Amino acid sequence: MSARPDAVATATAAVETVAAVESADPCCAAPLPVLGRDVTVPLVTGGEVTYAALDYAASAPALQRVWDDVAAYAPYYGSVHRGAGYLSQLSTDLFESSRVTVAEFLDCRADDQVVFTRSTTDSLNLLAAVVPADCEVFVFETEHHASLLPWGSPDAPGRRGSDARVTYLNAPRTPQQAVETLERALADRDPYGPALVCVTGASNVTGELWPVRELAAAAHAHGARIVLDAAQLAPHHPVSVQDLDVDWIAFSGHKLYAPFGSGVLAGRADWLQDSEPYLAGGGASRKVARRADGGVDVEWHTTAARHEAGSPNVIGVYSIASACKALTEAGFEGLVARERHLIATVREGLAEVPEVKVLSLFGDDAPRVGVISFVVDGWNSSHFAAALSAEYGIGVRDGLFCAHPLVRTLLGSDPQDPGECGAPEAAPGERSEVGVPPAEGWGRSLNAIRVSFGAGTPDEHVERFVGAVKALVRDGAQWKYRTEDGRCVPDRG
């Protein structure tokens, strides 16, 4: 729709609630209201406690503002595009205006496209499906599987994007080493063929920030393009396509304080326009006609709709736009300052426990977001995470965090070691004797523990977490645990 009818504009304005954010000392600012902040959970030792959600890196709780916006829109829900009815027009307008909001949030270039997908994984698989057949792809082994695996390999000839030649780069130990490693790899490539670099903005394992701007400069100096996996960066820091000079950005709504089921791929349009649609179907096609020989001729859209076949997830898209507005209005300066305070609380608390080893690529002084992974001397990681949940009402994550090569590198284990996300490497039992690590030792453990937090995390949650870690290491678990379906759970028998 080129212009919004007055009625549509009025209705749209009615569902776009504006949350007033009080200015205050950033470090003392209150957490943003999120769903579930008052939920209580039972403890295995008796009683209940307010749940401390410290697994933001997997899925952040939805902002109350986002939920309220979606609830206000829900009565106006209708089909998107081509519908003649009022609700369809309103929903179409909301869908397309959400695209504009996301483009502004990412500071996109004027000719960039914003394609709505299901998730970061879906976004990167979409990009893998449209890269030129002779493209060389460069990706560090430190990436999340969503950005490590879509590009194809000789071992998976049937996967989309498998015609691309993939070079996996070893884990760097400093930001400068990351840039130098990439520059060496790019210098050895065919300078006349297409190339793509895929890199994370913030690690989902260590939380460390990567030198995206410098990596983008190196890529462009060697004639390559770059895509940024911003799944862990966008919820914590402002992300600008133009300032970072990246070609594409991918992220997920469910990490940006929006409900599940929506994601974004934003950036250059040419590869997207020159490829076959990611999915073939209604919405992606502009014109379809039968040929005299019995076949079908199809004219595909050249806009973002080319890769958005089917009925779109209007509520998911609107929830992302709402989250973008809420974070922008809250102000990233204050959000970042408050998160640094929470990071310092956790890191200083863990540093007081000699048995705890925090995992890091770039060292203690590296800037990071609120994601910290660690192992505990004498503890199975799944056992420790289960005790945090069952005895203290704290939700963290244990395992390999869908970044198996990175975690194994950080733990010093063989890349070929078996193991799966969340599965304990040994049957959990009582806490080991103080100072006596498991048979494999710290470096041979097959999984770790991850605590992650963000804009909705109260101070009390991270303070309780630090206290619980100290108590578990000092006193051991108060309950017995057993393995059930690969998970460590309280033994209630």
Task: Report the pLDDT averaged over residues 150-165.
Answer: 61
- Percent of the chain surpassing pLDDT 70: 85
Residue 414: per-residue pLDDT: 56
Q: Which amino acid is at 408?
A: R
| Residue 474 in this model has a pLDDT that exceeds 50 | yes
Q: 65-74, 203-212, 270-279, 280-289: lowest mean pLDDT where?
A: 280-289
Query: Which band of pLDDT confidence, cut at 50, 70 and 90, is reported for residue 294?
Result: confident
Residue 84: per-residue pLDDT: 87
Residue 4: per-residue pLDDT: 40
| Residue 89 in this model has a pLDDT that exceeds 90 | yes
Query: Which band of pLDDT confidence, cut at 50, 70 and 90, is reported for residue 337?
Result: very high
| Residue 352 in this model has a pLDDT that exceeds 50 | yes
**DSSP three-state, residue 286:** strand
Largest CA distance in the chain: 81
Would strands 225-229 and 195-200 be described as parallel, antiparallel, or unpaired?
parallel
Cα 235 from Cα 256, distance rounded (Å): 5
| Residue 418 in this model has a pLDDT that exceeds 50 | no
Asked if 57 and 452 count as a contact pair (C-beta separation under 8 A), the reply is yes
| Residue 13 in this model has a pLDDT that exceeds 50 | no
Cα 143 from Cα 472, distance rounded (Å): 31
Cα 431 from Cα 380, distance rounded (Å): 8
pLDDT in tens, 377-386: 999 999 999 9
| Residue 486 in this model has a pLDDT that exceeds 90 | no
For the question of whether the overall pTM of this predicted structure is more than 0.75, the answer is yes
pLDDT in tens, 123-147: 999 999 999 988 999 999 999 999 9
Residue 14: per-residue pLDDT: 37
Residue 164: per-residue pLDDT: 81
Give every CB contact of residue 227 below 8 A, 6+ residues apart in sequence: 124, 127, 147, 196, 197, 198, 199, 246, 247, 248, 249, 250, 267
| Residue 77 in this model has a pLDDT that exceeds 80 | yes
- Give me the residue label for tokens 């406690």: 49
Strands (E), 230-355: 248-252, 263-267, 285-290, 296-300
Query: Which band of pLDDT confidence, cut at 50, 70 and 90, is reported for residue 29?
Result: confident
Residue in 135, 402, 421, 488 annotated catalytic: 402
* Residue in 237, 255, 219 with CA at minimum distance from that of residue 340: 237
Task: Report the pLDDT averaged over residues 26-38.
Answer: 84
Cα 284 from Cα 461, distance rounded (Å): 46
CB burial of residue 120 (10 Å; 0-12, 13-18, 19+) = buried
Task: Report the pLDDT averaged over residues 372-400.
Answer: 96
Query: Which band of pLDDT confidence, cut at 50, 70 and 90, is reported for residue 371?
Result: very high
Q: Which amino acid is at 462?
A: V
Cα 379 from Cα 388, distance rounded (Å): 12
SS3 for 107-176 is: CCCCCCEEEEECCHHHHHHHHHHHCCCCCEEEEECCCCHHHHCCCCCCCCCCCCCCCCEEEEECCCCCHH
CB burial of residue 220 (10 Å; 0-12, 13-18, 19+) = middle
| Residue 485 in this model has a pLDDT that exceeds 90 | no
Residue 1: per-residue pLDDT: 38
Task: Report the pLDDT averaged over residues 339-352.
Answer: 98
Query: Which band of pLDDT confidence, cut at 50, 70 and 90, is reported for residue 155?
Result: low
* Residue in 230, 196, 257, 205 with CA at minimum distance from that of residue 370: 205
Residue 153: per-residue pLDDT: 57
* Residue in 89, 113, 118, 91 with CA at minimum distance from that of residue 102: 113
| Residue 433 in this model has a pLDDT that exceeds 70 | no
Residue 17: Cβ within 10 Å count: 16
Residue 434: per-residue pLDDT: 32
| Residue 432 in this model has a pLDDT that exceeds 50 | no
Residue 9: Cβ within 10 Å count: 14
The encoded tokens of residue 61 equal: 């709780």
Cα 60 from Cα 62, distance rounded (Å): 6
Task: Report the pLDDT averaged over residues 93-120.
Answer: 97
pLDDT in tens, 239-293: 999 999 999 999 999 999 998 889 999 999 999 999 999 989 888 888 989 899 9
Query: Which band of pLDDT confidence, cut at 50, 70 and 90, is reported for residue 443?
Result: very low
Distances (CA, A) of 24 to 20, 30, 63, 216: 13, 9, 20, 36
Active site residue 135: no
- Average pLDDT, whole number, for the chain? 87
Cα 365 from Cα 157, distance rounded (Å): 42
| Residue 427 in this model has a pLDDT that exceeds 60 | no
Highest mean pLDDT range out of 11-20, 21-30, 65-74? 65-74
Q: 67-76, 176-185, 291-300, 408-417: lowest mean pLDDT where?
A: 408-417
Q: At what angle do helices 86-105 and 6-15 cross, to 10 degrees?
A: 60
Give every CB contact of residue 126 below 8 A, 6+ residues apart in sequence: 115, 117, 265, 278, 307
Residue 98: per-residue pLDDT: 97
Give every CB contact of residue 433 below 8 A, 6+ residues apart in sequence: 378
